[in-house]
Amino acid sequence: MFNWRNLSWKHLFVVMLLLHILPLWIFAYFPSQDGASHVYNGLVLKEYGKHENYQMRNAWELNITIFPNWLSHIFLLAFLYVFPPVIAEKVFLTIAIGMVPFAFLYFFSVVHKDEKKLPVYAWLGFPFTYNYLLYMGFYNFQLSISFFFFSFGFWWKHKDDMQVQHLIWLYVLLLLTYLSHIASYGLVVLGISVAGGCLSGAPTVAAAWRWRGEGFATLLQKFVVSLKPVFRFFLYMVPMYFVLIDYYLQSVKQHKQGNHRGMEWVWEYFWGVKSIVYFSDWHVTANYFLLTVLGIAIIISIGYRIHRKEWVKRTDAFLLIAFLLTYMFVRAPWSYGPGGWINDRIHLYILPMLAAWLIPNMGKFSRYAVAGCLVLFSLLHFGRTAYDHARIAPEIAELVSGTHLIEPHTTYQIRSEDWHKSDALGKIKYVTPFVHHMALYGVYAEDVAHLSNYEAAFNYFPVNRNDENAPDDYLDLWYHKAPVDYVVAWYPPDTPEFRAYTADHEIIHETKHLQLYRKKRAAGPILELWNKTEEGKLIIRFDMQPNGSATALDSHEIGPNTEYESGKFGWQTRSPHEAYRGDSKETKLAQDGVWGQRDAAFKLDLPNGNYRVTNTFCTAEDRTHTINLLANGTQVLDNFIISEDDEVFRHTYTIEVTEGYLTQAIFTPKDRVRHEDDWNNKNHFWIWNGCTVEQIF
């Protein structure tokens, strides 16, 4: 028989945890601003090594270095091997959100050392789980919140007896914090430094005061001995400082000044506790209740300390940290170079640090009252969040309703009249949950390049642009003039610029607020461009060459910048194809060509059927080079070496075309290690002179 007396705070904690995870799985999409973009870039990381994904490889390059902001991409990359993209995001968020209450619980349990009862202020973990930065889609920072409290709590637990094994685990936790976000890493190192300095330095100061009447030599000797704990503490902190200083010096070198939002914004943010406000100001009003509860808790704590004559406690270090963070929040720039939201990140830790200073053992009635109020606030905060999720879910579903229409090996851009606009929520004030959900148009088909991928503009993300001619400002990515196959418009702009941009596109999907445009296509392959053999079969020849060079007989001139046209042919990539002139006397076709070091894809529209394809390659300057060739994703040349003895090489293969096009992707391996004796004999590029495609039966 069920007995209510068997229930404890642990059961309530689990119920609250499950409740906070539930919206992730009830609603199809999580309404964050940048989250879907992380999913897309995780997919790029997963698929980039496949040369058949020539659009991805053409648009992006990998930035595989150690820097903060890595961890969420690693998680998503791993999950994408097991789950579909949207489910992978849900699994990641379940971990990233679910870890926060546990991290708060661990931290407050260690600080207050109460194993029988749940520390009162551990309930703060739930309202801080759903925070502004999470809804901005800053998934790395969301992870870093948990690692901040795990790291700080672990140090606090072992600070008085820090053994080698403890240091190893502390460094691991701090490394995870660093790989999540530099702000949380810097703040936890600062917090540990302040607390460690106070706790190890205070006894020295007190002892020096007691010894003040002794001789100078005795005082100095005792003082040096008493400083050993301080030296020991700062000695094992040196690696943490080194990482932080190195990052700071690099930032100062790259970015000279920051941008401050102004004091009006600072105080409005501070008193509104806007680090846990995202869709509307409803949460600001609710947050006044939280401030009132914590204010009463402060009064109660001070009263108990006066009554118990607890004038100095070790946890007073957290009050100092809270004051220091408040000062930093007020004075810090909102952005420094490309990194922004600095105040927001600092602010999130102020109240938890203040709560760590408060007395938890304040009497049964006071304890239950404060805990009950925090639980009530958590439920109010979460309830409104879930309500907003339910209201915005149909709009996001409408936004991504055309994803199934995107075809493989294509590119797309996005447009909107106003990304903050919402039928359900009105003008969404703080986040824009629609803008980067457009990234989901790039995750359902193979090899889709999302040309408005904002992450690619920053060197602290693992996927960067691979277009040397792209604009410097990431916002200009949306207005880059490169050809695009699709345009996804949410609340389509009614402007001459937008109409001109989509003039050569047609609408293939339309809802109340969404228009999906696809570039206009020819009805089929333009056969007038083809010749016929004596047997009456179709044949087409291409001479790849510098612009304006003499063209081989019955061949189409293909220059370095011949772009693909529907129904015809051309380069599908924007890789840097360079012109090449050789000295071959064999044929005019082999005298010149195009060359490159990056992958390139040449597409030809043609009727379905069987074809014989002959490609012509030549050597260059008595050096060998290696060629790989894919035909509609199937490898037909695998690391084929063209030596200096092969002046001209022709390769023939047959292929069955079933989708109305033939795309040949050419690439060359990039060896990480080059031997000095091979340097003059091997170049890492490809040369392509010509191609003939002949119909067979």
Residues 556 and 660 in one domain: yes
Task: Report the distance separating Cα 361 and Cα 118, nearest Å.
Answer: 11
* pLDDT for residue 676: 47
Residue at which a domain ends, from 391, 426, 441: 391
In this prediction, residue 622 has a pLDDT band, given cuts at 50, 70 and 90, of low
Q: Does residue 32 sit within a domain?
A: no
Q: Is the pLDDT confidence value at 672 over 50?
A: no
Tens digit of each residue's pLDDT (9 = 90 or more) over 247-295: 877 776 666 677 888 899 999 999 999 999 999 899 999 999 999 999 9
Residues 205 and 318 in one domain: yes
Going by C-alpha positions, the residue among 97, 88, 100, 82 that lies closest to residue 36 is 88
* pLDDT for residue 199: 80
Task: Report the distance separating Cα 555 and Cα 590, nearest Å.
Answer: 13
Q: Does residue 24 sit within a domain?
A: no
- The count of C-alpha atoms lying within 13 angstroms of the C-alpha of 591, restricted to the half-sphere facing its C-beta, is 10
Q: Does residue 211 sit within a domain?
A: yes
Residues 269 and 145 in one domain: yes
Residue at which a domain ends, from 519, 554, 577: 519
Q: How many residues does the chain have?
A: 697
- Mean pLDDT calculated for residue range 127-150: 95
- Mean pLDDT calculated for residue range 105-122: 82
Residues 418 and 448 in one domain: yes
Tens digit of each residue's pLDDT (9 = 90 or more) over 328-362: 999 988 887 667 899 999 999 999 999 999 987 77
Residue 535: left (phi > 0), alpha (psi -120 to 50), or beta?
A: alpha
Q: Is the pLDDT confidence value at 675 over 50?
A: no
Residue at which a domain ends, from 373, 391, 409: 391
Q: Is the pLDDT confidence value at 469 over 50?
A: no
Residues 513 and 561 in one domain: no
Mean pLDDT of the chain: 86
Domain range for 601 = 527-696
Structure tokens that stand for 129 in this block: 């789980």
| Radius of gyration, alpha carbons of the chain | 32
Q: Is the pLDDT confidence value at 190 over 90?
A: yes
Instruction: Decide if 342 contacts 333 (C-beta within 8 A).
Output: yes
Residues 491 and 588 in one domain: no
Identify the weakest region by mean pLDDT among 284-288, 317-321, 424-428, 586-590: 586-590
- Mean pLDDT calculated for residue range 291-314: 87
Instruction: Decide if 100 contacts 125 (C-beta within 8 A).
Output: yes
Q: Does residue 43 sit within a domain?
A: no
- The count of C-alpha atoms lying within 13 angstroms of the C-alpha of 255, restricted to the half-sphere facing its C-beta, is 13
Instruction: Decide if 545 contacts 559 (C-beta within 8 A).
Output: yes
- Mean pLDDT calculated for residue range 234-238: 87
- Mean pLDDT calculated for residue range 477-504: 84
Q: Which long-range contacts (CB under 8 A, 24 or more apart) does 639-643 make?
A: 639/669, 642/617, 642/618, 642/687, 643/619
* pLDDT for residue 673: 44
Name the residue type at position 157: K
* pLDDT for residue 591: 76
Identify the weakest region by mean pLDDT among 91-100, 350-359, 462-471, 631-640: 462-471
User: Which residue did the predictor score with more confidence, 427 or 477?
Assistant: 427
Q: Is the pLDDT confidence value at 679 over 60?
A: no
CATH code for the domain in which residue 594 is found: 2.60.120.430
Residues 282 and 172 in one domain: yes
Q: Does residue 21 sit within a domain?
A: no
Q: Which residues pair with 687 in a beta bridge?
A: 595
Task: Report the distance separating Cα 62 and Cα 232, nearest Å.
Answer: 41
Residues 383 and 446 in one domain: no
Q: Which residues pair with 258 in a beta bridge?
A: 336
* pLDDT for residue 553: 85
Residues 281 and 353 in one domain: yes
Q: Is the pLDDT confidence value at 619 over 60?
A: yes
% the chain with pLDDT above 90: 60
Residues 371 and 321 in one domain: yes
> What single DSSP character describes residue 506?
E
Residues 423 and 349 in one domain: no
Instruction: Decide if 367 contacts 405 (C-beta within 8 A).
Output: no
Identify the weakest region by mean pLDDT among 205-219, 297-311, 415-429: 205-219
Residue 412 phi, psi dihedral angles, 5° rounding? -150, 155
Tens digit of each residue's pLDDT (9 = 90 or more) over 517-572: 999 999 999 999 999 998 889 999 999 888 777 888 889 999 888 899 999 999 99
What is the three-class DSSP state of 160?
Answer: helix
The answer to whether the Cα torsion of 217, 221, 227, 231 is positive or negative is: positive
Q: Does residue 91 sit within a domain?
A: yes
Tens digit of each residue's pLDDT (9 = 90 or more) over 20-78: 999 999 999 999 999 999 999 999 999 999 999 999 999 999 988 877 888 999 999 99
- Mean pLDDT calculated for residue range 660-673: 81
Residue 343 phi, psi dihedral angles, 5° rounding? -60, -40
In this prediction, residue 205 has a pLDDT band, given cuts at 50, 70 and 90, of low
Q: Does residue 408 sit within a domain?
A: yes
Task: Report the distance separating Cα 166 and Cα 187, nearest Å.
Answer: 20
User: Which residue did the predictor score with more confidence, 24 or 5?
Assistant: 24
* pLDDT for residue 596: 85
Task: Report the distance separating Cα 463 and Cα 137, nearest Å.
Answer: 17
Structure tokens that stand for 582 in this block: 């050789």
Residues 374 and 439 in one domain: no
Number of domains in the chain: 3
* pLDDT for residue 682: 53
Q: At what angle do helices 182-210 and 216-226 cross, to 10 degrees?
A: 150
Q: Does residue 52 sit within a domain?
A: no
Q: Is the pLDDT confidence value at 642 over 70?
A: yes
